[in-house]
């Protein structure tokens, strides 16, 4: 009986999706609402994501406006953005908060590229851990005589092919993000 790789493929796909979500929070000079995903504001005693209490729009590529549904949140949102590590100073006009994203300096671009490479390596480690889990399951099934040695080798080979496929996907996504950072 060959190992069912579907479960492991789903886990690898989730690791890639998680990596893509993490990359969306990397500020590459363009306005992107995902940079606010990790910023929370105190909303009636509970920390709430900004997109849960306000509408976010982008009038142009380098500007983002945040319009809270409750105007009493303006100061709280402003403080939350200042306290975050976005490195952007919000401008509050009493109705909306504007965020202007400056073009990154060459030094900042290198830092962002290193950050992308670090996140890519973490995603690859997650993929490799899933491969290890699959191979451990193969060995366990072989030990319990649920599969032959040939089936074990075939299963491990298909797991390795899956691993290679998803690592290439991560490399491709990271490369695209690095190009985006360098061309902004």
Domain boundary at 78, 100, 122, which?
100
Domain boundary at 85, 100, 115, which?
100
**179 and 133 share a domain?**
yes
Q: State the CATH number of the domain containing residue 146.
A: 1.10.132.20
**140 and 177 share a domain?**
yes
**113 and 140 share a domain?**
yes
Tell me: the pLDDT tens digits for 120-159?
A: 999 999 999 999 999 999 899 889 888 888 888 998 999 9
Res 28: pLDDT: 66
Dist. CA 42–CA 77, nearest whole Å: 8
Decide if 1 is inside a domain: no
- How many residues are listed for the chain in this entry? 184
Number of domains, the chain: 2
Domain of 42, in residue numbers: 33-100
Decide if 11 is inside a domain: yes
Low-confidence residues of the chain: pLDDT under 70: 1, 27-30, 184
Res 133: pLDDT: 93
In Å, what is the CA distance from 77 to each residue of 53, 74, 91? 9, 5, 11
Decide if 136 is inside a domain: yes
**18 and 39 share a domain?**
no
């Amino acid at each position: 009986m060959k190992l069912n790789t579907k479960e492991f493929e789903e886990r690898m796909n989730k690791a890639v999706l998680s990596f893509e979500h993490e990359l969306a929070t990397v500020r590459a000079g363009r306005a992107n609402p995902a940079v606010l995903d990790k910023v929370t504001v105190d909303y009636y005693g509970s920390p709430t994501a900004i997109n849960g209490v306000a509408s976010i729009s982008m009038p142009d590529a380098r500007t983002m406006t945040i319009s809270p549904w409750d105007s009493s949140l303006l100061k709280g949102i402003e403080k939350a953005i200042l306290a975050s590590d976005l490195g952007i100073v919000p401008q509050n006009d009493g109705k909306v908060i504007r965020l202007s994203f400056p073009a990154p300096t060459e030094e900042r671009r290198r830092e962002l590229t290193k950050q992308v490479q670090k996140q890519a390596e973490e995603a690859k480690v997650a993929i490799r851990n899933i491969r290890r889990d699959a191979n451990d399951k193969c060995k366990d099934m072989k030990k319990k005589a649920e599969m032959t040695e040939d089936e074990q080798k075939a299963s491990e080979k298909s797991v390795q092919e899956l691993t290679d496929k998803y690592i290439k996907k991560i490399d491709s996504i990271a490369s695209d993000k690095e190009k985006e950072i360098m061309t902004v």
